[in-house]
Structure 1
Amino acid sequence: MKFTDGNWLIREGLDLITPVQLFRETVNEKQLTLLLAPIDLSERANQLDVSMLTVTYSAPLPDVIKVTCVRHKGGVKRGPEFTVAEQEDEATVIKNTKTDVTLTSGSLQVKAIKGPRWTSEYVYNGQHITSSGFKGKAHVTRTATKETFMREELDLSVGETIYGLGERFTPLVRNGQVVDTWNKDGGTSSEQSYKNVPFYLSNKGYGVFVNHPENVSFEAGSEKVSKMQFSVTGETLEYYIIGGGSPKKVLENYTALTGKPALPPAWSFGLWLTTSFTTDYDEQTVNTFVDGMAERHIPLRVFHFDCFWMKALQWCDFQWDKDVFPDPKGMLSRLKEKGLKLSVWINPYIAQASPLFDEAVEKGYLIKKKNGDVWQWDKWQPGMGIVDFTNAQACHWYISHLEKLHKMGVDSFKTDFGERIPTDVVFYDGSDPMKMHNYYAYLYNQVVFQWLEKARGKNDAVLFARSSTAGGQKFPVHWGGDCDASYVSMAESLRGGLSLGLSGFGFWSHDIGGFESTAPADLYKRWIAFGLLSSHSRLHGSKSYRVPWIYDEEAVDVLRFFTSLKHSLMPYLYQQAYETTKTGIPMMRAMMLEFPEDPACDYVDRQYMLGDALLVAPIFNEEGRVNYYLPKGTWTHLLTNETVEGGTWKEGHYDYFSLPLFVRSDAILPIGDNIAKPDYDYADNVTCHLFGLQTNKKVTIRDAHGKIALTLAVNVNIDGSYDVIPDNPMNKQWQLIIRDMTTLPSVENGEVDLVENGVSIVPEDTSTAVNITFECDKRR
């Protein structure tokens, strides 16, 4: 929201209180409190009839400073509030001198300058990161309505770029944009977002989390070009300055505060196929899809039933449409015999025609109007109400219907919708409806996900969720929502996924081929490559099926190729997924996250890193041409073994079975020997590909349950030779392929074979160390 009229004037109808003087500071062991005045209070006459802002600083976690700014604090506090992990025993250092007062948390410090022109500066490891300057904070009143706002302005430095604020489909860099964090069902082609997160990340190595579930209005250099401004309604503004020094470390600290992603089951990384949305289908249709994939040797891991598994106009009743599926339990059993996991679509709405509606009304399980009536409307489903997840009994009731489906054989749920939550309503627990608008998505997915964890175990729970907000990363997986079948929409989907990853979400997917309309075969095949090189991969659409043979026969081959490729990469991908759960760093990473020292990466949003070793550049045109950027270093194309020196932009032409897919130098990439499914013994017969190692590396290979099955330490000696030391081999067979080499090595305790992509080393005894020497050091 904009409050000023240019650089000098205030917008008509607004009254601003902007502090200019630090009048008094109060220091205790854990907290620093400042009284800020809008005028100079040196003379006592000015100390009457004056407004004050109270600013409090504290340290909830190392490298994190909490800031609370209040004008009038006597208002009734109503939830919900984001769940944050604050540590009461966090060490805090406060120093008070004649000129300034500082609070330090880890390597992050806030310094408040005393005097008539007060400022507060944030410093990380001695380096300035941002500041709240003279008149930056403000209390705003709309004079006509008496509505009030709290505003903050943080300085943007030269060359500073801002990212995040949820899954946004606009340009990746937020500078110049106006962002309101208000969940909407707006598709992928507008400024609206299904997943709004009031957290932004700076390329200067810090982040800001505004701790308000309601709408937060951000002006990212769009009101004042040198300021990152954010505001909320009311009398209080609370936010966290999060240090780290690098974007990765900031995300790690942010997710320590708001929650780390759970680890999705290994099977969920395989190919998902759906019925699509409004298509006609029954068990025979489903079997045609499933059997058709098997006949064409395309590995399918999950089959999903979209909305019309239930009878039309009465969603959700959680009952199979018996006119179409007369034997649902038998059908699910027969599909499971084909080796599939199964998913069904749900949402949090109960249509008036649903057999469950009267029960939900009688027991008070639906959101109500202020007069006590159930809130209803006819959009989506006629007369539908919305389940009130602030009511514990309503949660148990909702879960009871999921339990029945789970007992039938359903493994996962697509938790769709949850964005259009009204604000002229009353919630069971008295929650503020403005705060509940976004937070509702968090509760909805939390209820379903946590029940799945209890029902299936923590290593076997996964959703396919559309709406979310801060903290929702704890309940994966999320997908990008309704995209069009066009190259433009494919690119905007990628921007949304990268933005979500920069907002703390570790796992993300999208509708391969586009949701709306039907893609031409060309686009479908290009989207397959992108989709199978994403964390999660789903074929889904609206009015037409997404099986490859309806496009052309080559699409069948392309889908088989990239599905098999992803399965072979699972030893690498699953370890990356595990690291995501520990660090909060997403699997699909914007280039600036992996290469923050390279300014050329700041604006790159048409390619990404898949984990820390693989670079992926999808192709967004019919010609098969692509421009992509390789940071400095030697890069090896995974499929062709071509080596390229980075530090510049490249251009190439690729057929449907390839794209820029490069491995960075000084990396180890474990590749499995099973292309039939994503969940297998990753350590058995694993091949570790070595790419120009320059430093000691350790690769960890986990089993499909997340437990360590094998580790290999590769030490680089001064003479350029390698020592490969296995740990916990558990009788696993493994081998090395050294790529990016010009000379053949000699090996102690192993055999050397030439292979297409380098030299292969098979240890004679896989439980002991292997020493590798070279004739000369001619590594490229």
Structure 2
Amino acid sequence: MRLFTLKYFTINSLTCLLTALLTCLVISTPLLASTGNYLNHKLEGNTVVITTNSVEVILSAYGEGAIAAHYQNFEEKLPASQLPSFAIKEKALHSKFVIKEDTKQLTLTLNKLSAVINKTPFSISYYQKNEKQENTLLIAEQQGFFSDTVIEDSKKIEVQGFRFHLNDTEKLLGGGERVLGMDRRGHSFPLYNRAHYGYTTQSEQMNFSIPAVMSSNKYIVLFDNSAKGYMDLAKAEKNTLEFSAVAGRMAYIVFAADTYPKLLNNYVDVTGKQPLPPRWSLGNYASRFGYRNEKEVRDTVNKFIDLDFPLDALILDLYWFGKDIKGHMGNLAWDKDAFPEPEKMIKDIKEKGVNTILITEPFILSTSGKWQDAVENQALAKDAQGKAKQFDFYFGNTGLVDVFNDKGQQWFNNIYQTLYQQGVTGWWGDLGEPEVHPSDTLHTLSDGSVVNADAIHNVYGHQWAKMVFENQLKMSPDQRPFILMRSGFAGSQRYGMIPWTGDVSRSWGGLKPQVELSLQMSLLGMAYTHSDLGGFAGGEKFDQEMYIRWLQYGIFQPIYRPHGQDNIAPEAVFHDKRTQDILREYIKLRYKLLPYNYTLAYQNSTTGMPLMRPLFFEEKFEHGLENKDDLTIFDNASSYLWGDAFLVTPVVSADVSSVAVDLPAGVWFDYFTNKNEPSKKYQGNQTINLPTSLEKLPVLVRAGAFIPMIDDIQSTQDYDASKLTLHYYADNSVSTADYEMYEDDGKTYQAIEKGLFELLQFSAKQQQQHLSININRKGKGYNGMPKARNMTVVIHNITQAPNNIRLNNKVINDGIWQDKNNTLTVTFTWQHQPITLTIQ
């Protein structure tokens, strides 16, 4: 294992060094290619087609606030210019423009967003109406698009792209997985998905490029191009945003809205919403590189259960199809020496509540048992002679499955179908950048056209996820797919993709950028982006403090998946008793919070709202958003909101006794206060130092928050919706509060669209010493829905014993007030009728 780590690190470090050198050799002084002057326009359905004397520009409106522009150059200099949009969702519906024209301009308006076309010389500017109904400039083209030549590796490469004016002060986020700080203005970087093994606190290029930026001025511009490219965010030239690519369609989409959540909603309305994942995916995973045989699998599952650790999934890395690292990739069939009875193993651990997830890679080694079959079925990408393209990389001599080709998809899908019939529940797609992808590799698209690797490199993982997603639904139309993928593109979320942040260093340096990475990806639709908890790469010895801090943070992360090279165990059950005792309580809390977390998943699937939310989403952050001259809140990646209720500040350095937390407006309570003490209260709109210890993750909860919880369970197989504990954090500063909890059967695909769910509605009103909590339910329900619920309502910050407690105006006497922690607990049976709990 150490030899592998050293070799792999050396190879990737060299790759990163060469990448940096090559990036330095890219010399870009754009030659503005005149897009000419406006000649005419016509309306084709809801699409406006504008002709100039050098280009045709197609403008389309989508949803409530998105305008797409597609430039078609008459000279067609770049290859693959007729590629389809991979970013825009299938069957996206066009909206209608309101069109106005005068001698100088053509204006296309969609609600508050307008595209103003200057006729001579041709260019487009985008405006948004503000609260005063005044048009405010968002972003403007610099003379349409440009053509240029860049020098890379001593070769001249033709590129085309767009340049936009920026204002002096706006901050820019986006670009996908990179460690550059939240505000990425002043940076330039490649748009080419590539692994960065062992990264820590800086990385310009990683697994997941998204060619888009979100501005502090409440717009997103997405460059709808799948090819190898580059983005410069006002580094080379002040106040200029530049995108360029070596191939592909010359198109972009501008999104705008009045608020950041609405802006994100407009984005996913066009690129697609994340389907609701299975409830078990929010549980705990056992994962490492890797479990080598059936006995290890069974022993690991039993150890979790014996030590009272909840568990919902076990992930098998590449040893399931080969006894060692090299020479077996592409077999994609069980190594029967190590796993003699895989179907029985899968069935047995499933009975214990544990789902099986298998790694698959798109590389088929020429030494593998499936090589000849893949060649004969024309499943592999080709070379210029029409033969299977072969090349060498770390794991051996290989070919690459052509996931764009119908024949490649069918061959790959047959493998997935066989494994699914054996009981496999979820899929892990690894190395899908693809990790090695020679430029002269040729892919065949569904329309029969052939493109080289550079033209579609960044959508390989996207297309692979689509293939797996659609195939899974063919095999089991009612089951929600689970697809873990390392690489993708804008819009990959619509195929249920769950990304992670790559092969991070197992160190404090690796932990530090994880909030930044997840927030950046969430702002562009990829809301389930998470890290290998505990770190993946390297590590000489077990660092207890770093490991505990990372796994504590993971409780408030979309996916809870410790994973790493097995020179140090990634699983808490293989560590010392103190580590186990601390983390057991956190993992159990993760399960108790399932109703709250599952509701976050519902919110994401319906609106695009992330599970992890940046602080600038808080419209009432007075020293941030309300002060137009202070945009520092956009730089904050130390803290984040987990849903609306929690404010989380991970500990990312050793020997820390307190952390600085910038509080949004309102009142906040210390969530992990000792049970024998009242929750400490903090006034918002200030920076506080929140005490911490190894046992305590710094977490605050908002006054007025409802937090639904369940009792302890071993896995989501035991999930019991008939018993619910509802926590409410009362405070005189909050006169009204509302919350809606989502519930369904946890597994049915499109349960939301089919109406197979219920919404539990909770609201509170408080005036001085009078508090009322209203409880209601709506929705047609689902199979297995409880007919009644045993409710336990825990109200925090009740500073004196109540005079009376009423349930629908009937006095009840079983409320328990505890003066040591200022909580009031009331229990009752709820048969889903409207009910009011009143405390005086």
Give the TM-score normalised by the residue count of structure 2: 0.83
Structure 2: how far apart are the matches of 1:253 and 1:528? 33
Does the 8 Å CA contact 1:203/1:592 hold for their aligned counterparts?
no
Any conservation in 1 of the 2:107–2:114 contact (CA below 8 Å)?
Answer: yes
The residue aligned with 2:138 is 130
* Residue 172 of structure 1: aligned partner: 182
Matched, 1:406 2:438: no
Which of 215, 218, 228 is the equivalent residue of 2:231? 218
- Equivalent runs, 1:432-447 vs 2, <5 Å: 432-433=451-452, 434-447=454-467
Question: 1:304–1:343: 8 Å Cα contact kept in structure 2?
Answer: yes
Instruction: Find the aligned partners of 1:422 and 1:458 in 2 and give their Cα distance.
Output: 39
Partner residue, 2:827 = 762
After superposition, the Cα gap between the structure-2 partners of 1:627 and 1:12, relative to the gap in structure 1 and judged at 3 Å, is closer
Match of 2:164 in 1: 154
Moved more, 597-606 or 470-479: 597-606
CA 1:267 to 1:757, structure 2 compared with 1: closer, same or farther past 3 Å?
farther
2:561 pairs, out of 513, 538, 543, with 538
Q: 1: CA distance between counterparts of 2:476 and 2:801?
A: 49
SS in 2 for 1:689: strand
* Aligned mates of 1:292, 1:681 — CA distance in 2: 21
Q: Which residue of 2 aligns with 1:699?
A: 740
Relative to structure 1, the CA distance from residue 73 to residue 92 in structure 2 (aligned partners, 3 Å threshold; closer, same or farther) is farther
- Please identify, of 724-733 and 495-504, the stretch whose mean Cα deviation from structure 2 is larger: 724-733
Q: Which residue of 2 aligns with 1:639?
A: 672
- The 10-residue stretch of structure 1 (76-85 or 110-119) with the greater mean CA deviation from structure 2: 110-119
Q: CA 1:142/1:572 → structure 2, altered by over 3 Å: closer, same or farther? A: closer
1:759 is displaced (CA, Å) by 1.2
**Structure 1 match to 2:503:** 482
Task: Give matches, 1:293-372, under 5 Å.
Answer: 293-311=304-322, 312=324, 313-372=327-386
Counterpart CA distance in 2 for 1:409 and 1:11 is: 53
2:11 maps to what in 1? none
> 1:72-93 deviations in whole A, cap 9, x for unaligned?
2557744353152475652210
Structure 1 segment 188-199 matched on structure 2, within 5 A: 188-189=199-200, 190-199=203-212
Deviations 1:97-133 (A, max 9, x none): 3453311012211223566797734224434242325
The one-letter code sitting in structure 2 at the alignment partner of 1:422 is P
- Give the corresponding residue for 2:173: 163
Q: Which residue of 702, 714, 722 maps to 1:684? A: 722
8 Å Cα contact 2:142-2:164 kept in structure 1: no
Alignment gaps of 5+ in structure 2: 1-18, 20-25, 625-630, 674-678, 779-785
Q: Secondary structure at the match of 1:250?
A: helix
Among 72, 75, 90, the alignment partner of 2:74 is 72
CA change 1:145–1:27 in 2 (3 A) is farther
For 1:338 and 1:131, locate their aligned partners in 2 and report how far apart those are by CA, in whole Å: 55
**3-state DSSP of counterpart to 1:350:** strand
Matched, 1:525 2:525: no
Matched residues in 1 for 2:247 and 2:740: separation? 51
Q: Which residue number in structure 2 is paired with residue 208 of structure 1? A: 221
SS at match of 1:609: strand
C-alpha distance in 1, partners of 2:547/2:146? 51
Give the superposition deviation at 1:444: 1.2
1:511-533 Cα distance to aligned partner (Å, 9 max, x none): 11110123411111111101222
Maintained 8 Å contact 1:681/1:704: no
Candidates 84, 87, 90, aligned match of 2:88? 84
Deviates most, 234-243 or 482-491: 234-243
Q: Distance in 1 between matches of 2:745 and 2:410?
A: 31
Kindly indicate whether residue 776 of structure 2 is the aligned counterpart of residue 726 of structure 1.
yes
Match of 1:587 among 611, 620, 640: 611
Instruction: Give, as a single letter, the amino acid of the residue that structure 2 aligns with 1:242.
Output: F
Confirm or deny: 8 A CA contact 2:667 2:683 kept in the other structure: yes
Indicate yes or no: 2:302 matched with 1:291.
yes
The residue type paired with residue 544 of structure 2 is A
Paired residues, number: 750
Against the structure 1 CA distance between its residues 531 and 94, is the aligned structure 2 distance closer, same or farther, given a 3 Å change threshold? same
Aligned to 2:653: 621
Note closer, same or farther for the CA distance 1:61–1:460 as it changes in structure 2 (3 Å cut).
closer
Kept in 2, the 8 Å contact 1:743–1:774? The answer is no
SS at match of 2:597: helix
**CA offset at residue 208 of structure 1?**
0.8
Deviation at 1:57, TM superposition (A): 3.1
SS at match of 2:694: coil
For normalisation by structure 1, the TM-score amounts to 0.89
What pairs up with 1:459-608 in 2 under 5 angstroms? Answer: 459-474=479-494, 475-518=496-539, 519-544=542-567, 545-595=569-619, 598=624, 599-608=631-640
| SS state at 2:524 partner | coil
Flag the 1:155–1:716 CA change in 2: closer, same or farther, 3 A: farther
C-alpha distance in structure 2 between counterparts of 1:727 and 1:61, whole Å: 30
Q: Percent identity?
A: 24
Cα offset for 1:556?
0.8
Query: Match of 1:26?
Result: 41
For residues 732-765 of structure 1, give each alpha carbon's deviation from its aligned partner in whole angstroms, at most 9, with x where no partner exists. Answer: 1223222234344433224422244621233465
Query: Which of 358, 383, 407 pairs up with 1:393?
Result: 407
Three-state SS of the structure 1 residue aligned to 2:95 is: coil
Contact 2:38 2:122 in 1 (8 A): no
Q: Distance in 2 between matches of 1:295 and 1:256?
A: 46
Report the more deviating stretch, 674-683 or 101-110.
Answer: 674-683
Indicate how the Cα distance of structure 1 residues 560 and 258 shifts in structure 2: closer, same or farther if over 3 A, else same: same
CA contact (8 A) 1:452 1:461 kept: yes
User: Cα 1:194–1:355, aligned 2, differ >3 Å: closer, same or farther?
Assistant: same
How much does 1:616 deviate?
A: 1.3
* CA distance in 1: counterparts of 2:380 and 2:536, whole angstroms: 30
CA deviation digits over 1:259-307, x for unaligned, max 9?
Answer: 1111111111111112424xx7323333332222222111121111111
Whole-Å Cα distance in 2 between the matches of residues 651 and 543 of structure 1?
A: 37
Between 481-490 and 622-631, the greater mean CA deviation after superposition: 622-631
Cα contact 1:635–1:644 (8 A) shared by 2: yes
Other-structure match for 2:12: none
CA gap 1:194/1:23 in 2 versus in 1, 3 angstroms: same
Worse-superposed segment, 574-583 or 509-518: 509-518
Counterpart code for 2:173:
Y
Query: Once the two structures are superposed, what CA deviation does each residue of 1:23-45 show, in whole Å capped at 9, x if it has no partner?
Result: 54535474556666xxxxxxxxx
Q: Per the alignment, do residues 317 and 237 of structure 1 end up closer, same or farther by CA in structure 2, a change over 3 Å counting?
A: same
CA distance in 1, matches of 2:321, 2:195: 22
Q: Distance in 1 between matches of 2:28 and 2:545?
A: 54
Match of 1:668 in 2: 706
C-alpha contact (below 8 Å) 1:618/1:659 kept by paired residues: yes
Answer whether contact 2:65 2:256 (CA < 8 A) is retained: yes
- What is the CA distance between 1:655 and its match in structure 2? 2.2
- What is the distance in 1 between the residues matched to 2:248 and 2:591? 53
Is 1:651 paired with 2:651?
no
Retained in 1: the 8 A contact 2:274–2:604? yes
Residue in 2 that maps onto 1:229? 242
Residue 444 of structure 2 is aligned to residue 428 of structure 1: yes
Aligned residues of 2:125 and 2:139 also touching (Cα < 8 A): yes
